[in-house]
C-alpha cells in the first residue's frame, strides 16, 4: 500500500522538473513524420507546396503498391503517405499491387462550397483503379457495387469477384482507422468513380490509427 502513496509524489516532482524543458507540441513533431517514412523505407523527396505542412513527392511504391497517375507526380502531405504505406497491407492481401489516382495535392474547394478541400493541404487522394496480376484492373466506376452493407455488416453481398474485392477493401480502409475520411460512390454522385482517402494532419495524430475512424 505504501507504494501507492510514493508513486504520485515521484510523478509530480518529475512533472515539475519537466517544466524547465521546452514545451512539446501536442501531437508528434512534423519532422517525426518523415522519420516514419524513412523507417518504412519509402522512397520520396521533400518538396514545397503552398498550404501543405510537410509536402513530399513519393518516388516509389507505398506499402508495396505502385500508385501512379497518367499526368502527375504523387505529391502529398507526409501524413497521408504514412497512412497509404500502412494501408498497403490490405491491398496486397487482396491481390492488388498497383493503383491509379487522378488527384492528390490540388488547391480547390469542396464542390458547392467555399471551404477548401483537404486536397488543398495534400491530405487527400482520389483513387480510381486498383489492379493486380490475378484480378486485372478494377475501376471504381465500373466494378464497385453501390449500396452494399450496413453499419453492422459492412460487406453485404457483392455479386461479382471484382465488386467483392473493392467492397472488402473499402471496409478495411474505413475500419483501419488510418484515414480520417473514406468516401466511396455510396457517398454521393461526385464520388461515383473514385475512393477519396483523407488523412488527418500529422500534428493532430497521437497514434497512427484513430480509435474511431469516420465512416461515410
Residues 6+ away with beta carbon under 8 Å from 196: 124, 125, 126, 181, 182, 183, 184, 187
Among 44, 196, 199, 200, interactor with Zn ion by CB under 5 A: 196
Q: Is residue 167 part of the contact set for Zn ion (CB under 5 A)?
A: no
We find the least distance from the C-beta atom of residue 120 to Zn ion, in angstroms, to be: 11
- Identify the H or E element spanning 132: strand 124-132
- Residue number, 128 or 196, with CB nearest to Zn ion: 196
C-alpha cell at 28: 508528434
Residue 32: burial class (beta carbons within 10 Å; 0-12, 13-18, 19+): middle
We find the least distance from the C-beta atom of residue 126 to Zn ion, in angstroms, to be: 4
Distance, in Å, from the CA atom of 33 to the CA atom of 76, rounded to the nearest integer, reads 12
Stretch that binds Zn ion, among 3-11, 56-64, 121-129, 162-170 (CB under 5 A): 121-129
Cα-trace Rg, the chain: 20
- Residue number, 34 or 117, with CB nearest to Zn ion: 117
Stretch that binds Zn ion, among 32-40, 172-180, 190-198, 203-211 (CB under 5 A): 190-198
Stretch that binds Zn ion, among 8-16, 48-56, 127-135, 191-199 (CB under 5 A): 191-199
We find the least distance from the C-beta atom of residue 196 to Zn ion, in angstroms, to be: 4
- Identify the H or E element spanning 175: helix 161-176
Q: Is residue 126 part of the contact set for Zn ion (CB under 5 A)?
A: yes
Stretch that binds Zn ion, among 48-56, 84-92, 118-126, 152-160 (CB under 5 A): 118-126
In DSSP notation, 83-114 reads: HHHHHHHHHHHTT--EEEEEESS---BPTTSS
Closest-by-Cβ residue to Zn ion is: 196
Distance, in Å, from the CA atom of 60 to the CA atom of 108, rounded to the nearest integer, reads 26
Q: Is residue 128 part of the contact set for Zn ion (CB under 5 A)?
A: no
Q: Rule CB under 5 A: which residues touch Zn ion? A: 124, 126, 196
Amino acid at each position: 500500500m505504501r507504494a501507492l502513496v510514493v508513486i504520485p509524489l515521484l510523478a509530480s516532482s518529475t512533472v515539475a522538473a519537466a517544466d524547465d524543458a521546452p514545451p512539446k507540441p501536442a501531437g508528434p513533431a512534423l519532422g517525426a513524420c518523415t522519420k516514419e517514412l524513412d523507417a518504412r523505407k519509402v522512397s520520396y523527396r521533400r518538396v514545397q507546396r503552398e498550404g501543405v505542412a510537410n509536402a513530399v513527392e513519393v518516388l516509389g511504391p507505398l506499402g508495396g503498391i505502385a500508385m501512379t497517375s497518367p499526368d502527375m507526380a504523387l505529391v502529398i502531405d507526409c501524413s497521408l503517405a504514412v497512412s497509404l504505406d500502412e494501408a498497403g497491407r490490405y491491398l496486397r492481401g487482396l491481390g492488388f499491387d498497383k493503383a491509379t489516382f487522378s488527384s492528390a495535392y490540388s488547391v480547390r474547394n469542396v464542390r458547392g462550397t467555399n471551404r477548401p478541400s483537404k486536397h488543398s493541404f495534400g491530405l487527400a487522394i482520389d483513387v480510381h483503379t486498383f489492379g493486380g496480376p490475378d484480378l486485372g484492373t478494377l475501376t471504381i466506376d465500373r466494378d464497385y457495387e453501390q449500396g452494399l452493407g450496413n453499419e453492422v455488416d459492412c460487406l453485404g453481398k457483392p455479386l461479382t469477384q471484382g465488386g467483392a474485392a473493392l467492397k472488402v477493401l473499402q471496409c478495411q480502409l474505413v475500419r483501419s482507422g488510418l484515414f480520417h475520411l473514406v468516401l466511396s460512390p455510396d457517398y454521393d454522385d461526385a464520388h461515383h468513380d473514385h475512393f477519396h482517402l483523407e488523412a488527418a494532419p500529422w500534428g493532430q495524430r497521437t497514434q497512427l490509427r484513430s480509435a474511431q475512424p469516420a465512416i461515410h
